[in-house]
Amino acid sequence: MSGVEIIFIIVAIVTLLAALFVVTTPNLVHAALWLILALFGVAATFVLLNATFLAVVQVVVYIGAIAVLMIFAIMLTRRVMEDSGPQINSNWILAALLGLVLFVGLTFVLINSGAANASLSDLVVDPVEQLGKELVSPNAYVIPFELASVLLLAAMIGSIVIAWKK
Amino acid sequence: MGDPINLISQWFNNLLLGWGLAEGLVKVISLAIGAAIVATLGLVTVIALIWVERKIAGRLQDRPGPNRAGPFGLFQPFADMIKIFTKEITTPDGADKVAFNIAPILAMASVLMIWAVVPFAGTVVGANINVGVLYIVAVGSFGIVAVLMAGWSSNNKFALLGAFRAVAQMVSYEVPMVIALLVPVLLARSMGMNDIVAAQTPWFIIIAPLAALIFLITSMAEVGRAPFDLLEAESEIVAGFHTEYSGMGFGMFYVSEFLHVWTVGALIATFFFGGWSGPGAENFPILGILYFYMKTFIGYFLVTWIRLSLPRIRIDQMLAFNWKFLTPLSLVVLIVTAVVDKALEMAGVERWAYALIMLAANLLIGWIVVLILKAVEPNRKRQRVEFEHRPVAVAPKSTDS
Amino acid sequence: MLDNWLYIGLFIIVALFIPAVAVSLPRLIGPRKPNAIKQEIYECGMETVGDAWVQFKVQYYIFALIFLIFDIETVFLFPWAVAFDKLPLFAVMEGVLFILILLAGLMYAWRKGALDWA
């Protein structure tokens, strides 16, 4: 085994364990903190795949913004130091089924696309620059790029309409 | 001769290889030692900074500052250190023990980790990654998590309230900070720290002074120093999120704040004052390190000076200043920089003309902003903060701030 | 490329290790005499009243939401800024349009009064 493989296995185990604790711990804030560790593990996996831009974006957006927002929401609405109710509600079978379908589907796609056998070679072009060019190129992703900003605008308006009642 | 640091590391690598260690292992060991040296250097700097800051504070307030322990009070930080290391660490009743003890470690680590990508000189740079700027932003988010953990796990009203204020301030000021950082990235066409340093002919403080100013202000808010220290306003919420911490637990938050200010100085130097560049720095990295530290100290002194000169602002002022002034301004600066830069590139002007026009564009924005503020300010209704009368001894039903 | 990230990985371990040692050291050399009064939660010298949790303003949440939107926006803009050299003028304008749409969002929040603290 190479060094990268050993690191990958450690990262994967930590990530999965953290994800497991997210759903098993009764304390909501603890669950959010475990979620942060799991998200960090995903960022580390991105680094091992040489997708460094995605790795930092993962940390900036998911840990820096979304996880913080979650903890904020928990703290705003719950009596903080108390453990909350049962972890399982009546929909757990449906959720487990959906999770299984998603897992099988992703595995299937991954194996069929041949990505599982791809080797990690050093990239010739700067992927960030490539991404920047593609995002605003009319032959590539300019429509999704502008739509993303419209979507973000809609999200902002929506959140203000729902959360902000004068 | 010109580059003793890389020479030493090469000699060390060869030494280890000579002992018959595997190549991969040698790399890991030498990188780990490099990381340990850089991190320790950061902490040693803090010891010096505590003395420097108290001396500056003393002089600015017309008093001598520490002058008893050793010559010029130089041993004062060591006395402080011995004291804080021998103090008892208490954990309050009902606290979440694990989160309570991890929070100060995480707070310190989040600041230290920035130093992994800071270039000290052309050849002396820890990790020259192509996403350096975003890495710094990413690492900062662990600081936010640490504050939330500290505030929540303390089981204390003031700590929780302080954490809320701190996080509201940190996330709010992160927006104009990141947008201001986009300007040097755009000018250098790279997120790599060393590329940004190399692209600075002339320094970005001339090409993008407004972005530098916004970065300075927002960084001060991120650190949480006066005038942005309402998250630990003694007269309102005791000490904010670290109310319940004692001894070294508090010490870690304190040290991380000092190191953060120093780091802000380093980042301003790197992004806007040409980093390690200076006469002779290309050939002699030692000179580059010297320039880098001098520039860093300027940024550090600026932050300290502002801290000691301005009073604390209120939370509504803090948020309004960010969302109604800094964020729109930073977006306008970014748009103008992008458009003017492209137009000048297409016109194919000389570098000096480019710098001058950029400077003029920035000054124009600044002038228009001043005009707008002058037009708006007299008409603005003064906000009155009014409280309902309530008896002193009875606990309030709700605290809203 | 991965070498640099190995350094960062090691740096993270070192950066966690040093403060962990600093926090653990006083537990070895410092005094350790907990008692009920010392462990009490601080509340200006009075006995603690009620829970640590109080009703907070929803405003905190609104600002966090607006921050989230802008955070994602800036992440999109970083590759645009890095590739700036290779972009034609209209591509630059697309980036500007992207920013303007979000500026409109900020203006909306401003007009709705969501940015006021009172």
Tell me the pLDDT tens digit for each residue of B71-102. Answer: 887 888 888 888 888 888 888 877 788 888 88
Residue span of the structural domain in which C13 resides:
2-112
Record: contact C26-B34, CB cut-off 8 A: no
In a domain, residue C118? The reply is no
Q: Please determine, for residue A101, whether its predicted confidence score (pLDDT) is greater than 90.
A: yes
A153 pLDDT tier (thresholds 50, 70, 90): confident
B119: β partners: B125
Q: Please determine, for residue A7, whether its predicted confidence score (pLDDT) is greater than 70.
A: yes
More confident residue, B313 or B231: B313
Record: contact A153-C102, CB cut-off 8 A: yes
Q: Please determine, for residue B400, whether its predicted confidence score (pLDDT) is greater than 60.
A: no
In a domain, residue A149? The reply is yes
Name chain C's partners: 3 or more CB pairs within 8 A.
A, B
* Chain A contact present for C61, CB below 8 A: yes
Record: contact C86-A129, CB cut-off 8 A: yes
How many domains is chain C built from?
1
Query: Which chain A residues contact residue B162 at CB under 8 A?
Result: none
Model pLDDT, residue B361: 85
Model pLDDT for residues B260-297, shown as the tens digit of each residue: 999 999 999 888 888 787 777 677 777 888 888 888 98
In this prediction, what percent of chain A has a pLDDT beyond 90?
17
Model pLDDT for residues A66-79, shown as the tens digit of each residue: 888 888 888 777 66
Mean pLDDT of chain B: 82
Name chain A's partners: 3 or more CB pairs within 8 A.
B, C
Model pLDDT, residue B279: 76
How many domains is chain A built from?
2
Nearest CA in chain C to A48: C2
Q: Please determine, for residue B236, whether its predicted confidence score (pLDDT) is greater than 80.
A: no
Nearest CA to A24 out of A77, A117, A79, A92 is that of A92
In a domain, residue C117? The reply is no
Q: How far is CA B111 from CA B143, B192, B256, B259, C65, in A?
A: 7, 19, 6, 7, 25
Q: Which CATH number goes with the domain that contains C68?
A: 1.20.58.1610
Rounded Cα distance, A106 and A111, in Å: 9
Q: A4 and A70 share a domain?
A: yes
B398 pLDDT tier (thresholds 50, 70, 90): low
Q: Which CATH number goes with the domain that contains A15?
A: 1.20.120.1200
- Token look-up 């806007």 returns B272
How many angstroms away from the CA of A30 is the closest CA of chain B? 9
Model pLDDT, residue A120: 61
Model pLDDT, residue B1: 44
B246 pLDDT tier (thresholds 50, 70, 90): confident
In a domain, residue A31? The reply is yes
Q: Choosing among A25, A35, A60, which should be mutated to test the B contact, i.e. which has the most B CBs within 10 A?
A: A60
A115 pLDDT tier (thresholds 50, 70, 90): low
**Average pLDDT of B210-231?**
86
Rounded Cα distance, C56 and B399, in Å: 7
Q: What residues of chain A have any CB closer than 8 angstroms to a CB in chain B?
A: 3, 29-30, 33, 36, 52-53, 55-57, 59-60, 63-65, 67-68, 71-72, 75, 80-81, 126, 128
Residue B311 has which token pair?
């009073």
More confident residue, B194 or B396: B194
Model pLDDT for residues B151-181, shown as the tens digit of each residue: 888 887 788 888 888 888 888 899 999 999 9
How many angstroms away from the CA of A107 is the closest CA of chain B? 30
Model pLDDT for residues C32-87, shown as the tens digit of each residue: 777 777 777 777 666 666 666 666 777 788 888 888 888 888 888 888 888 888 87
- Least confident span in B235-244, B308-317, B356-365: B235-244
For the beta carbon of residue A109, count every other beta carbon within 10 angstroms: 10
Model pLDDT for residues B352-391, shown as the tens digit of each residue: 888 888 888 888 888 988 888 888 776 666 666 666 776 6
Name chain B's partners: 3 or more CB pairs within 8 A.
A, C
In a domain, residue A44? The reply is yes
In a domain, residue A145? The reply is yes
Record: contact A60-B145, CB cut-off 8 A: no
More confident residue, B368 or B69: B368
Nearest CA to B123 out of B187, B34, B188, B203 is that of B34
Model pLDDT, residue B381: 62
Query: Which chain C residues contact residue A128 at CB under 8 A?
Result: 78-79, 82-83
Query: Which chain C residues contact residue B88 at CB under 8 A?
Result: 26, 30-33
A14 pLDDT tier (thresholds 50, 70, 90): very high
Model pLDDT for residues B196-209, shown as the tens digit of each residue: 888 888 888 888 89
In a domain, residue A36? The reply is yes
Query: Which chain C residues contact residue A163 at CB under 8 A?
Result: 58, 61-62, 65
Record: contact C96-B335, CB cut-off 8 A: yes
Residue B234 has which token pair?
């003694």
Q: Please determine, for residue C30, whether its predicted confidence score (pLDDT) is greater than 80.
A: no
Model pLDDT for residues B100-144, shown as the tens digit of each residue: 888 999 999 999 888 888 888 777 777 778 888 889 999 988 888
A121 pLDDT tier (thresholds 50, 70, 90): low
Residue span of the structural domain in which A163 resides:
122-166
In a domain, residue C21? The reply is yes
Nearest CA to B270 out of B187, B180, B197, B326 is that of B197
In this prediction, what percent of chain B has a pLDDT beyond 90?
7
Prediction ipTM score: 0.86
In a domain, residue A59? The reply is yes
Which residues, 6+ apart, have CB-to-CB distance to B218 below 8 Å? B173, B174, B176, B177, B180, B322, B326
Record: contact B105-C20, CB cut-off 8 A: yes
Nearest CA in chain A to B145: A68
In this prediction, what percent of chain C has a pLDDT beyond 70?
86
In a domain, residue A108? The reply is no
Nearest CA in chain B to C1: B129
Q: Could you say which of C53, C56, C79 has the minimum Cβ distance to residue A131?
A: C79
Record: contact A68-B134, CB cut-off 8 A: no
Record: contact B400-C77, CB cut-off 8 A: no
Record: contact B87-C44, CB cut-off 8 A: no
Q: Could you say which of C58, C60, C94 has the minimum Cβ distance to residue A136?
A: C94
Question: Does residue B227 have a cis peptide bond before it, meaning omega lies within 30 degrees of 0?
Answer: yes
C22 pLDDT tier (thresholds 50, 70, 90): confident
